[in-house]
Amino acid sequence: MASLEIITKSDKETKKLGEKLAKEIAISHKPYAARRKAYGLRRAFVISLDGELGAGKTTFTQGFAKGLGIKETPKSPTFVIMRIYKLNKSNRSDKIVEFENFIHIDAYRITSKDLKSLGWNELVSGQQNIILIEWGDRVKNILPKNALRIIFKHGHSGSRLIKIMQ
């Protein structure tokens, strides 16, 4: 399993990393999008955000959303469990986003069974979604095998160690 470790020294750097990763995923996904649609292979791109409380998962998600062209700042869906943001490709100047929805899930208080009852199978297979799951390690048994995993840890003097694993 390939991995990359990055240290960010501020919330701003963590958001920038999220923004950059969103753009990279959107660009790398684009060549496959038309082919996948033509063959009816519409699958979600899932990213599991794991790690310590307050280590930067939501901050990273805010940058990620910005990278996808979402204007509002995502808030942690801790109490509502899930927030869905429609991606509007027509107002994007770079036209890189081929996903239809950005879905932000917080699995801190739920189980895999709960997530399934919220329509997990449809979210993963029925639409072309990009899904970030905070606390994804708590529902790892239902995550796709090819899900990207990002682990957040507190570092020294407010820094964060972020490990990206594929």
Task: Say if residue 39's pLDDT is above 50.
Answer: no
Distance CA 80, CA 18 (A): 22
Does the predicted TM-score (pTM) go above 0.85?
no
- The domains found in the chain, sorted by start residue, are 16-159 (3.40.50.300)
**Backbone φ, ψ for residue 104 (5° rounding):** -115, 115
**Of 99, 4, 7, 18, which is closest to residue 57 (Cα–Cα)?**
18
- What digits encode the pLDDT tens for the residues 52-63? 888 888 999 999
**Backbone φ, ψ for residue 55 (5° rounding):** -90, 0
pLDDT average, residue stretch 85-89: 77
CB–CB of 158/10 below 8 Å?
yes
Confidence category of residue 29, pLDDT binned at 50, 70, 90:
low
- What digits encode the pLDDT tens for the residues 124-164? 885 678 899 999 999 999 898 888 999 999 888 888 889 99
